[in-house]
Structure 1
Amino acid sequence: MSLMEQARLRLAGMEAPLLLAVLGLFCGLFAGIVIVIFRFYTDAVVLIWFQDLERVQDFESLPWELRLVLPIIGGVVIGIVFHLLPNHLRSIGVRHVVERLAMHEGHLPMKNAIVQFFTGGFALTCGLPVGREGPAIHLGSAVSSMTGKQLHLPNNSQRILVGCGTAAAIAACFNTPLAGVIFALEVVMLEYTIASFIPIILAAVSSTVVARIVFGNDVAYSVPALDMISMWEIPAIVLLGLIGGVWSAGFITLTEKIAQFTNNWPRWVRPSLAGILVGGLALVAPEIMGPGYDTVSQSFHGELAFSVLLLALLAKTVATAFCGGLSVPGGAIGPSLFIGAALGGVFGYGLDAILPGDQSYVGFYAMLGLATLMSATLYAPLAALMALLELTGNPNIIMPGMLSVVLANLVVSHAFHKRSIIQTMLAARGVETRISPLMMLLRRISIGKLLDTSIVILDRKLTRVEAESILKSEPRWLLIKENNWPSELMHAGELAAFLLESEQNDIDLMEIPAKRENMVSVHLQATLAEALESMNEKNVDAAYVYHRGGTDRIIGVVTRGKIEHYYTYRST
């Protein structure tokens, strides 16, 4: 067995943390470089409209004709491109990453990532109200997935590398490495494990280093010093959490209904309609165009009037819901941050009108609103709190943030029975990503962990002398071939017992009294969950494991009993 194959087997059982850490570090570097290229691409195209690097993303300064026309051009072009593409290439974004993790163990096609790069970037440059982080997560995850595929890593390690790409993307986009780590575990991988923490942390760190070298140390937003003035504001923060939960549930529901209503419309019509709607709204609320980082920063500083914030809140909510429901490529994280900041700012102004001078700065509530909406919309409370901490650099804001975030999540999940916007939109397409705790456990371990290599592959008919010679090597299993194809599995002890009881010279392994198991084939990269699912599908209790080259590379077997013993032992 080669050194690389030994490394793969160690990764199969999560017994090579150093190797996985090194892979995470390099995946973060690769993802960071790709995301830097993506940002250069979007900024370069935007320069066509602005002619000034300092004004990039300042869509409010554009003449009304461009604010109207740009989103329409973006929607129409994207609609035509999607209409011409085959169905399997239209799946992009964070939803695509989550779906591939749930259904394909994190193997992301590179062609979809290329589509994401150009269509997602074009949507951003045309001012459509989507987030930059959605395409970035897809691109970072695809680069990491490609790394795993090139190295033929087991699928449990492949899943972790996708998490590394996700964390690297969030870290590079917002300059918030810790929030990237938690987001990857909480939203995309849907699990927390010690084995995945180290490589994902290193990926986030290395990606942040790349982004900071190119773009500097500043976070995505300009944030002033924000703090809660008095504990008497707790009731106001409770109210903000409740309002944020209701608003988030309404946003998720609106997006879902639009997607369901327009599901059978021609593919080119849907993004085109979104572009027309955004263009119209941008005439009265230009702040909604693009990611809106500048508008969010202004809300923190209290630089926007109440009427501007309220109009931006309503327009951005409607525009983003239509873009998400009509399949415009882009992320939901950035828009949820914008909507949350606007909602918090409006709430802060309202509170100031009722109790002038007795509460915190309007920007404080804008920041709380940002974390609240992000958490409730994406069902990511820990990631939202980490973003709150990293964006403000103020640990004192965490306590009120925790209260608002938890209440909003409870309202969305228990009062309205809504899942995250990502899970909701996947469910609308018939994709179910929720899995049982048992299958989640088995997905973490590759089949190589339980691989039994003590086998002999032989034809069904052999002589007594050949049988005795085979048994001298003391194999545990006999893999019987019929018509030069693996057919059934038999314990070697069954053949030994037959030889003791019979003096027969010509032996047919399919005829002697013994318990034989039908088998399925499973690749060495597969997880225990995949192996068990294959056995259940064929109603068999064993699988032979191969690696590159089909039956010529059978390297071992695994049985249902061994898998059941493993998870029973691990659960006790």
Structure 2
Amino acid sequence: MNAARRDYSVDRRLLPMSGMALLIGAVSTAAAVVLLDLIRLCTNLFYYQTLSLAEREPAGHALGLWAIAAPVAGGLLVGLIARYGSDKIRGHGIPEAMEAILFGQSRMSPKVALLKPLSSGIVIGSGGPFGAEGPIIMTGGSLGSLLAQRLHLTAAERKTLLVAGACAGMTAVFGTPVAAVLLAVELLLFELRPRSLLPVALACACAGFVRTLCFAAGPLFPLRTPPATLAALGSCLLAGLACGGLAALLTWGLYRVEDGFGKLRLHWMWWPALGGLVVGIGGWLQPRALGVGYDVIGDLLNNRLLLEAALALLAVKAVIWLLALGSGTSGGVLAPLLMLGAGLGAALAPALPGGSPELWALACMAGVLGSVLGAPITAIVFAFGLTGDGSALLPLTLTTVVACGVTALTLKRSIMTEKIARRGLHIHREYSVDPLERLHVADVMTREAVAIDGAMPAADAWQSFFGPRGHNGYPVLRDGRVVGLLLRRRLQGAEASRQPCVIWSEPLSPSQVLLAGMSARHAAGRMAQLGFSRLPVVDGPDSMRLIGVVSLRDLLANSHVLLHEETVRERLR
């Protein structure tokens, strides 16, 4: 019996799923290339009036006041696409992916796969202060989901391929495969199992290799900071508090903006154009606040901006980002959060001893990102992957976990889950081992099982077994084999019948009984699926010989141990 128990619940389905994940990794990378090309194309059209894929920033335009109209036009186009195409393209993508996984059986539509990158390319190319990562996560997830829907897969397998596509897309944009895998664990998979983790990791690894054909290898923002001193310990604590406070403010501000747009007596189709007007004005005041802003992030991390100029730029960036995203347009949140976090670190650096200005920009960048997303491990590894700066790992880790502690204590939900909660759907973000996963059927079953001979008349079975203290169901045997389950509710109309009770029993096939090596969680799921409160345990599907019975009471009996661990405070001597 013990030899049948395994650390992980895997089967041969892992092999074809891994093969499909590799394919999705390559396809999602191609989708990321198309999205980035589309952003460049739209940038050249809106700001330079040329049909080109050349790398240009919106800040270099010479349009003067006419530049205000570009984000308005982009917002208007996206509003029309959302209204007459699919309203699923609205927002930054990750909450929509989470909702599809948890509440939509990982089904996403072809429209989203097509319209999400199109709308995001238009918005970002017209100056929208967003990153490409949210849209490509949604697009890659849609591609994975569409492939899965064409195949004979379970909802859990569709989820795996959806997440594989989403995280492969993120890898293609940022070149951070490990952080993308961790993002899957902390935000999308809602489990940590080989059946899903391995295919997702393979997709991200494939995307990481394939992207080198299209993008330069190495970190996106290479950085080398000197090692921090002991004085940085206190500085990290202060920086973490500041990052958590900014994260809470940004989260609160975004949904206040959304509430404000919701009160307008104007169809939501027009909201992105209003948000675009604010973006246009902000971009006229601070041109470098427009677009993705990777160049600004690099300047902040390398301490190449004067403090006054950086603060003015970041104030405008925060305002236009909140108003644009709150208007329901399409764009990602990671790049803006990276910029705002790095800016906070640059502003705090003169007052934080123990490290260089570059270190505090990096640490606060990770702190703000992790506390806004509610994904500290992802943020820590993401910051390292973006910069390759191993000497900064300790201070950015401390800063990030302190920041996440602040938001965990002050916010009910993160920026990722608030939108879903407003639709009446709740997501519990904590991960722990299910107590039923730690137990097997052999640990909880009643071994002295009472069974009924299938040939016994129904009236005799009712009188002998279904009294006031009897169970609601008993296994039924024929020639020593379990053939069914006799239920109280089925027998109530046959108290005087002399027919064999096997006629009144619920038949059980070998796939419906329990085996001693199954997990207690598997047993609970099977009982819920069949609608029975008791199920027989057999020694094998071939012999069907009864060795015990598991009831709901048996499954719940061990819950008091967990309750004791969680609630009882005691001093051990």
8 A contact 2:189–2:196 mirrored in 1: no
Task: Number of aligned residue pairs: give it.
Answer: 480
Q: Which residue does the alignment assign to 1:24? A: 21
User: 1:102 is aligned with what amino acid?
Assistant: L
3-state SS, counterpart of residue 383 of structure 1: helix
Q: Which residue does the alignment assign to 1:261? A: 260
Q: Which residue does the alignment assign to 2:38? A: 41
8 A contact 1:372–1:405 mirrored in 2: yes
Give the alignment's Cα RMSD to 1 decimal: 3.9
3-state SS, counterpart of residue 292 of structure 2: coil
Q: Which residue does the alignment assign to 1:376? A: 371
Cα distance in 2 for partners of 1:81, 1:313 equals 30
Distance change >3 Å, CA 383–CA 294, structure 1 → 2:
same
Distance change >3 Å, CA 127–CA 300, structure 1 → 2:
same
8 A contact 1:91–1:112 mirrored in 2: no
Task: After superposing the two structures, state which structure 1 stretch, 284-293 or 358-367, moved more.
Answer: 358-367
Post-superposition CA distance 1:156-182 (Å, at most 9, x none)? 111111221122011111011111111
Alignment pair present for 1:365 and 2:366: no
Cα distance in 2 for partners of 1:175, 1:58 equals 24
Cα distance in 2 for partners of 1:399, 1:304 equals 25
8 A contact 1:186–1:380 mirrored in 2: yes
8 A contact 1:439–1:529 mirrored in 2: no
| Structure 1 unaligned residues grouped into runs of 5+ | 1-10, 353-357, 444-470, 479-488, 518-527, 543-559
Alignment pair present for 1:247 and 2:246: yes
8 A contact 2:89–2:116 mirrored in 1: no
Distance change >3 Å, CA 537–CA 196, structure 1 → 2:
closer
3-state SS, counterpart of residue 231 of structure 1: coil
Cα distance in 1 for partners of 2:185, 2:287 equals 35
User: 1:332 is aligned with what amino acid?
Assistant: V
Task: After superposing the two structures, state which structure 1 stretch, 60-69 or 30-39, moved more.
Answer: 60-69
8 A contact 1:345–1:366 mirrored in 2: yes
Cα distance in 1 for partners of 2:431, 2:554 equals 16
8 A contact 1:92–1:116 mirrored in 2: no
Post-superposition CA distance 1:293-343 (Å, at most 9, x none)? 010011122211111210122112222211222111111111111111111
- Trace 1:450-469 onto structure 2 (pairs within 5 A): none
Q: Which residue does the alignment assign to 1:553? A: none
8 A contact 1:12–1:154 mirrored in 2: no
User: By how many angstroms is 1:43 displaced?
Assistant: 1.8
Cα distance in 2 for partners of 1:91, 1:441 equals 37
Task: After superposing the two structures, state which structure 1 stretch, 432-441 or 294-303, moved more.
Answer: 432-441
Cα distance in 1 for partners of 2:66, 2:436 equals 53
Distance change >3 Å, CA 436–CA 316, structure 1 → 2:
closer
Alignment pair present for 1:404 and 2:435: no
- Trace 1:509-520 onto structure 2 (pairs within 5 A): 513-514=504-505
Q: Which residue does the alignment assign to 2:383? A: 388
Distance change >3 Å, CA 141–CA 569, structure 1 → 2:
farther
Cα distance in 2 for partners of 1:379, 1:370 equals 14
Cα distance in 1 for partners of 2:100, 2:262 equals 21
Cα distance in 1 for partners of 2:329, 2:526 equals 36
Post-superposition CA distance 1:460-516 (Å, at most 9, x none)? xxxxxxxxxxx99999668xxxxxxxxxx989xx99xx9xx96x7xx999xx54458
Q: Which residue does the alignment assign to 2:313? A: 312
8 A contact 2:91–2:329 mirrored in 1: no
Cα distance in 2 for partners of 1:473, 1:144 equals 50
Cα distance in 1 for partners of 2:227, 2:127 equals 35
Distance change >3 Å, CA 62–CA 294, structure 1 → 2:
farther
- Trace 1:252-331 onto structure 2 (pairs within 5 A): 252-265=251-264, 266-331=267-332
Distance change >3 Å, CA 254–CA 30, structure 1 → 2:
same
Cα distance in 2 for partners of 1:295, 1:229 equals 24
Post-superposition CA distance 1:446-472 (Å, at most 9, x none)? xxxxxxxxxxxxxxxxxxxxxxxxx99
TM-score norm. by structure 2 comes to: 0.74
Task: After superposing the two structures, state which structure 1 stretch, 172-181 or 432-441, moved more.
Answer: 432-441
User: By how many angstroms is 1:234 displaced?
Assistant: 2.3
User: By how many angstroms is 1:130 displaced?
Assistant: 1.4
Q: Which residue does the alignment assign to 2:513? A: none
User: 1:316 is aligned with what amino acid?
Assistant: K
Alignment pair present for 1:424 and 2:418: yes
User: By how many angstroms is 1:253 displaced?
Assistant: 0.1
Cα distance in 1 for partners of 2:185, 2:125 equals 30
Post-superposition CA distance 1:404-435 (Å, at most 9, x none)? 00111111111x22422111122223332238
User: 2:257 is aligned with what amino acid?
Assistant: I
Q: Which residue does the alignment assign to 2:338? A: 337
Cα distance in 2 for partners of 1:476, 1:196 equals 35
Cα distance in 2 for partners of 1:567, 1:107 equals 34
Cα distance in 2 for partners of 1:363, 1:306 equals 13
Q: Percent identity?
A: 22
Alignment pair present for 1:203 and 2:226: no
TM-score norm. by structure 1 comes to: 0.74
Task: After superposing the two structures, state which structure 1 stretch, 299-308 or 532-541, moved more.
Answer: 532-541
Q: Which residue does the alignment assign to 1:156? A: 156
User: By how many angstroms is 1:140 displaced?
Assistant: 0.8
3-state SS, counterpart of residue 124 of structure 2: helix
Cα distance in 1 for partners of 2:249, 2:482 equals 60
User: 2:421 is aligned with what amino acid?
Assistant: A
Distance change >3 Å, CA 432–CA 264, structure 1 → 2:
farther
Comparing both structures, which one devotes a greater share of its residues to helix? 1
Distance change >3 Å, CA 148–CA 81, structure 1 → 2:
closer
Cα distance in 2 for partners of 1:440, 1:123 equals 43
User: By how many angstroms is 1:538 displaced?
Assistant: 11
Cα distance in 2 for partners of 1:101, 1:564 equals 32
Cα distance in 1 for partners of 2:348, 2:246 equals 12
- Trace 1:498-509 onto structure 2 (pairs within 5 A): none
Alignment pair present for 1:106 and 2:106: yes
Task: After superposing the two structures, state which structure 1 stretch, 77-86 or 240-249, moved more.
Answer: 77-86
Q: Which residue does the alignment assign to 2:546? A: none
8 A contact 2:10–2:194 mirrored in 1: no
